[in-house]
Chains A and B, each alone.
Chain A
Amino acid sequence: MDLKNLRFAESHEWIAPDGTVGISDHAQKEITDAVFVELPKAGRVVAGKESCAVVESVKAAFDIYAPVAGAIAAVNGAVVKNPAALNQSPYETGWLFKIAMTNAADRDKLMTHEQYQEFVKIHKH
């Protein structure tokens, strides 16, 4: 996945032009080893910033938010079976679900990778 094509939400999800959603490399490091992933059902309609998935690590549970509004078009069953993929490959095999966006322009309002990296730097606790 070319990071230049991705857009990032402040809640650390990325979304590709085709609506594929995952979490950033920064987020997977914060979450630490993922042990369970719970994904929404295909067909579910979600609002932007709606919590729709959960990633559990040994440390804690993390809500994953839909970066834009739309309908869940597909989910990554492979990452449910092998949550480690989320840590090993957050931008490729560790993707979570795909959204059929209600309005593709919503995506353009999110941060570029460059902007996101700046954002992470500023918001580092």
Chain B
Amino acid sequence: MPVQFEGILAEHRAVRERAGLFDISHMGQIWVMGAGARATLQKLVTNDVGSLAPGRGMYALLCREDGGVVDDLYVYALEPDRFLVIANASRAAVDFEWIKARRGPGTDLVEQPQAAAVALQGPLAETIMSVISGEAVSLSKNGVGEFQVMDMECVIARTGYTGEDGFEIFAPAGHLMGIHDALLKKGAPMGLALCGLGARDTLRLEMGYRLYGQDLDEGHSPLDAGLEWAVKWDKGDFIGRGALRRQKEEGLRRRLIALRLADRGVPRHGSEMIAGGKTVGVLSSGTYSPSLSIGIGLGYADYELFPKSLETAPMAVRVHGRDIPAQMVPLPFYRKRK
């Protein structure tokens, strides 16, 4: 997927106001199947896959024993014993080996051959989707199913990475081309835009969605990253639970904070975060928010350098040597007007 087609701002706006189509074929698609599949996933990820009903999907984290994040995933249950796991492109091979080495008995692991996928996102997504599948539009948020589309079966989920309503369609490359073109043909007159990685990044960051490799990695835990909502303590043991439990009891050493700039300038990955005149961390992600017309960023701040008492101190982000005033804000940065 290219960084942009028409332009990041135009593509971003199209998704917020109408619809956008993203080629997300770079994402890894791993099938986890068999009588032991559910137990395997339950043991490997932080969220409660045990409670995941067929036809539903959930966000989950794959952790190391020490709580570091191997990858963040989407897990879809197609049947009680058949799951599709969506992995980040850069981690798909690592994840596959990770799961394979730790799977329980009765678990088959298959990388989807010729994996390809598109995401159709935006308020007009449902209308556009109805041309290729009248059935898929009945999916509710986080719903998933297998649908006959243009004479072939593919997996469609009502999920995405933009904060808008939308669908993700998973199918082998050859077939997906036809789906892509059909969606574009129907959608273009309604303002559907082809979107690239640039808009994908501004859209996800406005929602505060973490990006693996920037906001998440093996050196940070889900708790550091503010993702405790996806860690289910009561579901039974899972890899990393002990370390995470200890982190929680002993207190976190750092936390991911969200900063919204109060003046012009675009913060970037690596920009220093300043509180009370001192550097307290660097941004893991930063961009210009097209919806808010201001710079936004996420970054890890050490509790030692940035105790709760400093949260009310004047903050700034250093951009080209200039300290731009900033404010710590709750996520998401952007909320859709109802």
Q: Which residues of A contact B (CB under 8 A)?
A: 32-33, 35-36, 38, 54, 56-61, 87
- Is B264 a contact partner of A36 (Cβ separation < 8 A)? yes
Q: Which residues of B contact A (CB under 8 A)?
A: 3-4, 7-10, 198, 202, 264-266, 268, 287-288, 290, 293, 319-320
Known A-B contacts A35-B288, A54-B320; the reply to A59 vs B8 at CB < 8 A is yes
Which residues does chain B contribute within 8 Å of A33, judged by CB atoms?
7-10
Known A-B contacts A58-B198, A59-B3, A59-B198; the reply to A32 vs B266 at CB < 8 A is no
9 more A-B residue pairs beyond the given contacts A56-B265, A57-B288, A58-B198, with a C-beta to C-beta distance below 8 A? A32-B7, A33-B7, A33-B8, A35-B9, A35-B266, A54-B320, A57-B8, A57-B266, A58-B9
- Is A32 a contact partner of B8 (Cβ separation < 8 A)? yes
8 Å CB contact of A58 from B264, B265, B290, B320: B290
Rounded to whole angstroms, the CA-CA distance of A36 and B261 in the bound complex is 13
- Is B8 a contact partner of A61 (Cβ separation < 8 A)? no
* Closest residue of A by beta carbon distance from B4: A32
Which residues does chain A contribute within 8 Å of B268, judged by CB atoms?
60-61
Rounded to whole angstroms, the CA-CA distance of A32 and B266 in the bound complex is 14
Rounded to whole angstroms, the CA-CA distance of A57 and B3 in the bound complex is 13
Rounded to whole angstroms, the CA-CA distance of A66 and B10 in the bound complex is 31
* Closest residue of B by beta carbon distance from A34: B9
* Closest residue of A by beta carbon distance from B201: A58
Q: Could you show 24 A-B contacts with beta carbons less than 8 Å apart?
A: A32-B4, A32-B8, A32-B198, A33-B8, A33-B10, A35-B9, A35-B288, A35-B293, A36-B288, A38-B264, A54-B320, A56-B265, A56-B266, A56-B288, A57-B288, A58-B9, A58-B198, A58-B202, A58-B266, A58-B287, A58-B290, A60-B268, A61-B268, A61-B320
CB distance from A80 to the nearest CB of B (A): 9
Rounded to whole angstroms, the CA-CA distance of A60 and B92 in the bound complex is 28
Q: What 7 A-B pairs are tightest by C-beta distance, nearest first? A: A33-B9, A58-B8, A56-B266, A35-B288, A36-B264, A58-B288, A33-B7
Rounded to whole angstroms, the CA-CA distance of A59 and B268 in the bound complex is 9
8 Å CB contact of A36 from B3, B7, B9, B265: B265
Which residues does chain B contribute within 8 Å of A61, judged by CB atoms?
266, 268, 319-320
Which residues does chain A contribute within 8 Å of B266, judged by CB atoms?
35-36, 56-58, 61
Rounded to whole angstroms, the CA-CA distance of A96 and B110 in the bound complex is 56
Rounded to whole angstroms, the CA-CA distance of A87 and B7 in the bound complex is 11
Rounded to whole angstroms, the CA-CA distance of A49 and B198 in the bound complex is 31
* Closest residue of B by beta carbon distance from A87: B7
Rounded to whole angstroms, the CA-CA distance of A5 and B320 in the bound complex is 34
Which residues does chain A contribute within 8 Å of B9, judged by CB atoms?
33, 35, 58
Which residues does chain B contribute within 8 Å of A35, judged by CB atoms?
9, 266, 288, 293
Rounded to whole angstroms, the CA-CA distance of A33 and B288 in the bound complex is 11
